[in-house]
Amino acid sequence: MQSMLDAPGRVEIHGSDRAWRAGVLAAIMSTAGMSFGLARADTDPAYLSHIEAPSVSFFAKKAVVPNTDAAAGELMRRAGAQEIASTAVSVKPTVYPFAFPAGLTEDQVHDKVVQFVFSGRVMEPALGGPIRLQNNLVADVPKTETPISWSYVAKEQGRTGCTFLISDQHAPAIASLARATGLSTEAALEFAVMHESAHCAQQAETVTAAYDVMRHGRVLPERIASGMLGAQAEEAIANGKEAEVFMSGLLSGRSSRLSAERFADAFAMMALMAQNRIDGQQIEGLIAWRLGDAATHNTASFLAFVRDQVRREPSSLAAMQATSAPGFDAQAIAAFLRPQWNAFEKAELAARRESSEGLKDVLLSGMKARDAVAAQTVSPSAATLGRSVSSSN
């Protein structure tokens, strides 16, 4: 490691274990205390010019994650899950905790899901009814490593449901996040819940837009006006390609696309900032943690961008704070985040188009040069043959 740190021109970390990659990255940064840039083509290095070494603890206490609906509901109230979800603009989401203990058998999972779905307290999905909700939960419960949410259009007009899967089987991932960022395990757990709550808000608009396409053949104006579909989706709508963009989101009920992850991460980060529960080093740790993530979740450049925007406008952070529970104003955070998110992604799309056009120009110039050379390079025998044929006629 010493030789690598002596000349860190480019450091690559390979491995399929996400927690291991994040831990290695945090260890290197904590040891070296050095500045990091990013070699990814789709990331603006201007927002990653300096990341301070996070305060990393490899002995963070074990995360306590609830495994009962009552305890999960209390966690969600503490994290402001419904307040965050309610920042959706054109629809009204309702969040539901679905908690379960680790190690359930297949039959136990099935019985618990059926009891939850048919309890009468969960809104019925407009597509597929309760059986669709049941099938999705039965499939997701055994494989979830972190708290996740699943959004769907409800039968009640203008409503969406958002089911939270929370379990003590998620404790290792929460502890890993706490170690990598320097956050307390409690703050790391609430960050995860805030993140999924922001998905509930943004995905409520997205799945409803997809439902619009299915029912009306187009996305309704109120969905576009919400500012929560994302720059790429808005561009697709403008180009008449909304069907191919939205239908996959409707079927899955959640999104792993980078755009959605950026929105959710930034919302959760700002909620912790408004609560004064994350300091500067821990923000850098969060950015570094995302640097080591998969491409669909590498939100580092956008988190750094939002961090810088908040620093430039300190009054905006004051507007996000609240003395009453949950300790932040979700609507104020959403009002700040939506235009920042859209502006960042529109600039990214414009840069990609410019880069693409530049590449096309280079290729076109190369093809023209090749054709010109080919036209000038005519063999003598071919020229003679052409004249002889002509003269024989």
Is the pLDDT at 10 greater than 60, yes or no? no
Mean pLDDT for the stretch of residues 241-254: 63
What pLDDT is attached to residue 5? 45
The sign of the torsion formed by the CA atoms of 68, 69, 74, 79 equals: positive
Coil vs helix vs strand at 168: helix
How far apart are the C-alpha atoms of 288 and 307, rounded to whole Å? 13
What number is the average pLDDT over the span 203-221? 92
Among 14-23, 97-106, 183-192, 198-207, the least confident range: 14-23
What is the structure's pLDDT at 72? 97
Average pLDDT in the chain:
82
pLDDT, residue 200, reads: 97
Q: What is the pLDDT confidence band of residue 37, given thresholds at 50, 70 and 90?
A: very low
Question: Quick one: which of 191, 141, 164 has its CA closest to 94?
Answer: 164
Q: Go through 247-275 and write b for each residue having 16 or more CB atoms within 10 A of its CB, e for each that does not.
A: eebbeebbbebbbbbbbbbbbbbbbbbbb
Q: What is the C-alpha separation between 263 and 230, in angstroms, rounded?
A: 9
Q: Looking at per-residue confidence, does 214 or 391 come out higher?
A: 214
How far apart CA 305 and CA 339 sit, in angstroms, is 13
Q: Which amino acid is at 43?
A: T
Q: Which residues contact 277 (CB under 8 A, 6 or more apart)?
A: 183, 184, 187
pLDDT of residue 62: 80
Report which of residues 257 and 46 the model is more confident about: 257
34 vs 213, higher pLDDT: 213
Q: Write the single-letter amino acid at 229.
A: L
Whether residue 45 is predicted with pLDDT greater than 70 in this model: the reply is: no
Report the largest interatomic distance among the alpha carbons of the chain, rounded to a whole angstrom. Answer: 100
Measured CA distances, 233 to 213, 214, 240 (Å): 13, 16, 10
Confidence (pLDDT) at 196: 97
Check whether 381 has a pLDDT greater than 50.
Answer: no
Q: Write down the pLDDT at residue 292.
A: 86
Instruction: State the pLDDT at residue 386.
Output: 40
pLDDT at residue 30 is higher than 50: no
Rounded mean pLDDT of 60-76? 90
Spatial separation of the C-alpha atoms in residues 175 and 63, rounded to whole Å:
5
pLDDT tens, 294-348? 888 999 999 999 999 999 999 999 999 999 999 999 999 999 999 999 999 999 9
- For the residues of 241-301, what is the DSSP string, one character each? -HHHHHHHHHHHSS---HHHHHHHHHHHHHHHHHTT---HHHHHHHHHHHHTS-GGG--HH
Question: For residue 184, is pLDDT > 60?
Answer: yes
